[in-house]
């Protein structure tokens, strides 16, 4: 029989892994989303930017994968059903909206806001070990920078 302390450690471990798995899944979804947006974009510069963002999210997923493995757990290997539904919704919306770069950027802003909010919420509410917290904080900062950049690109698209 496990002691109360052992149960608490196990619960904390499971909660930590669950949080990392959720972020891993979100990064898989974001990578697929940026790849999809890249296919829909018209501008070569926007396509290049979106390709870079997809690669960044792949890197984030790899970093989270390593963190999960360091906890002796098996990382998830794909994104969520919700992410698949969202991409389907984007396909439908893009078809109706005419697949403009502005529409692509609006979806990127929405996705990045959701990612940034989720990272910030987890960083505030969870007590991550310092090494994991550092990785998550760095990723959150990069997501925030991307969000600002996408907003700037949207403003430029509006001006055209």
pLDDT tens for each residue of 108-121: 888 889 899 999 99
State both tokens at 56.
Answer: 């960044």
pLDDT value, residue 65: 97
Residue pointed to by tokens 């493995």: 69
Contact between 72 and 122 under an 8 Å Cβ cutoff? The reply is no
Q: Is 45:33 a contact under the CB 8 Å cutoff?
A: no
Positive or negative, the CA dihedral 134, 125, 74, 56 is negative
Q: What is the pLDDT along the chain (160 residues), one digit of tens a residue?
A: 879 888 888 889 999 999 999 999 999 988 988 898 888 888 898 899 999 999 999 999 999 999 999 999 999 986 555 555 554 555 545 544 556 888 788 888 888 898 999 999 999 999 899 999 999 999 999 999 999 988 887 776 655 5
Predicted confidence (pLDDT) per residue in 102-149, tens digit: 878 888 888 889 899 999 999 999 989 999 999 999 999 999 999 998
Domain count for the chain? 1
Cβ atoms of residues 66 and 14 within 8 Å: no
Residue 136, domain extent = 4-159
CATH number at residue 114: 1.20.1260.10
Q: What is the reported pTM?
A: 0.84
Packing angle between helix 44-70 and helix 101-125, nearest 10 degrees?
A: 20
- The sign one gets for the Cα dihedral 136, 120, 12, 82 is negative
């Amino acid at each position: 029989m496990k002691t109360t302390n052992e149960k608490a450690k196990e619960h904390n471990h499971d909660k930590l892994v669950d949080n990392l798995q959720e972020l891993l899944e979100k990064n898989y979804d974001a990578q697929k989303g940026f790849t999809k947006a890249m296919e829909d974009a018209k501008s070569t510069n926007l396509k290049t930017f979106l390709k870079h963002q997809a690669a960044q999210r792949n890197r984030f997923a790899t970093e989270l994968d390593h963190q999960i493995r360091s906890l002796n757990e098996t990382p998830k290997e794909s994104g969520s059903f919700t992410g698949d539904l969202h991409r389907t919704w984007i396909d439908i919306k893009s078809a109706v909206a005419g697949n403009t770069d502005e529409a692509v950027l609006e979806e990127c802003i929405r996705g990045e806001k959701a990612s940034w909010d989720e990272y910030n919420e987890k960083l505030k509410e969870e007590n991550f070990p310092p090494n994991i917290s550092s990785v998550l904080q760095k990723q959150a900062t990069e997501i925030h920078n991307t969000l600002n950049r996408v907003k700037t690109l949207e403003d430029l698209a509006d001006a055209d």
